Every structure is written in C-alpha cells, then in structure tokens.
C-alpha cells in the first residue's frame, strides 16, 4: 500500500528526471513506481522511490570499476529540491566528486543514510554526516 499522494509524486519525479535525460526502467514503467537511471559515461545514477514513505534510494555505480554505493534519502516535502540536485550534478558526476554531491544532499536532507560496506542486510544504515 502506497502513501497518500504517491501517484502525483510519482508523476512529478518521472516528468522532472525524464525531462533532464533520465530513462525510466522497464520495471518502473510496468510497476508505476518511479525507477530511473542516468549514465554520464563515468557514473551511472539510479533512483527508486519508496512506496512506504517520502524517501528515495539513490544508487551510484562507477562505470570503470563497477563499484557502487547506495543511499536512502528521506526528503519529506522537498522532492523538487532533491531532484534539482540530481539534475545539477548528473552530467559531471564522477568518482572524484560524488562525495561533494552526497554532502550537498546531506546538508539539505539530514535524514540521508549510506548502505554499510560490510555486514548483513539487517545492519542499520549509518547516517551521512555532512561537512559544512
């Protein structure tokens, strides 16, 4: 069961990111749950909207090494600001500067969590503490 306003929110996420060159995944199209990807040649960015609440899962994959990181970002009522950060960084994001984007996200969205490097799937995700 999705939260109230999910459908309108989904449409706005898909419209904003699609308009900026992101592609909706087949699974996203079939399920109606926003799941989009953007590949700038250095990094592949992916987002997945939670159906349980106002949070997005952000995945970053380094094209060259295949290394990846995932973040859970609770955006509350500020989805437009979060999408704006993604669009601002999408073309120039790289392994050398992705931490700057994550810091910008964590400053604006204090409830940003990083997937642990080690541990089982039940390990809590640590909060990203922004540098000021």
Each domain of the chain, given as residue ranges in start order, spans 6-114
> 123 has which bridge partners?
none
Position 109 pLDDT exceeds 70? yes
Q: Are 66 and 79 in contact (CB under 8 A)?
A: no
Position 100 pLDDT exceeds 80? yes
pLDDT tens-place string over residues 67-86: 999 999 999 999 999 999 99
Report the relative pairing of strands 55-62 and 68-74 from DSSP bridges.
antiparallel
Q: What is the 3-state secondary structure (H, E, C) of the chain?
A: CCCCCHHHHHHHHHHHHHHCCCEECHHHHHHCCCEEEEECCCEEEEEEECCCCCEEEEEEEECCCCCEEEEEEECCCCHHHHHHHHHHHCCCCCCCCHHHHHHHHHHHCCCEEECCCCCCCCCCCCECCCCC
The first and second tokens of residue 10, run together, are 């989904």
Range of lowest pLDDT (49-53, 85-89, 114-118): 114-118
pLDDT tens-place string over residues 36-57: 999 999 999 999 999 999 999 9
């Amino acid at each position: 069961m999705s939260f109230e306003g999910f459908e309108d929110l989904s449409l706005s996420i898909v419209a904003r990111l699609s308009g900026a060159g992101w592609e909706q995944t087949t699974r996203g199209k079939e399920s109606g749950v926003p799941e989009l990807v953007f590949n700038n040649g250095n990094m592949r960015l992916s987002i997945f909207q939670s159906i349980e609440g106002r949070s997005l899962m952000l995945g970053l994959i380094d094209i060259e090494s295949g290394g990846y990181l995932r973040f859970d970002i609770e955006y509350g009522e500020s989805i437009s600001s979060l999408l704006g950060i993604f669009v601002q960084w999408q073309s120039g994001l790289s392994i050398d500067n992705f931490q700057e984007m994550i810091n910008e996200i964590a400053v604006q969205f204090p409830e940003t969590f990083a997937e642990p490097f080690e541990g089982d799937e039940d390990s809590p995700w640590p909060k990203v503490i922004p540098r000021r």
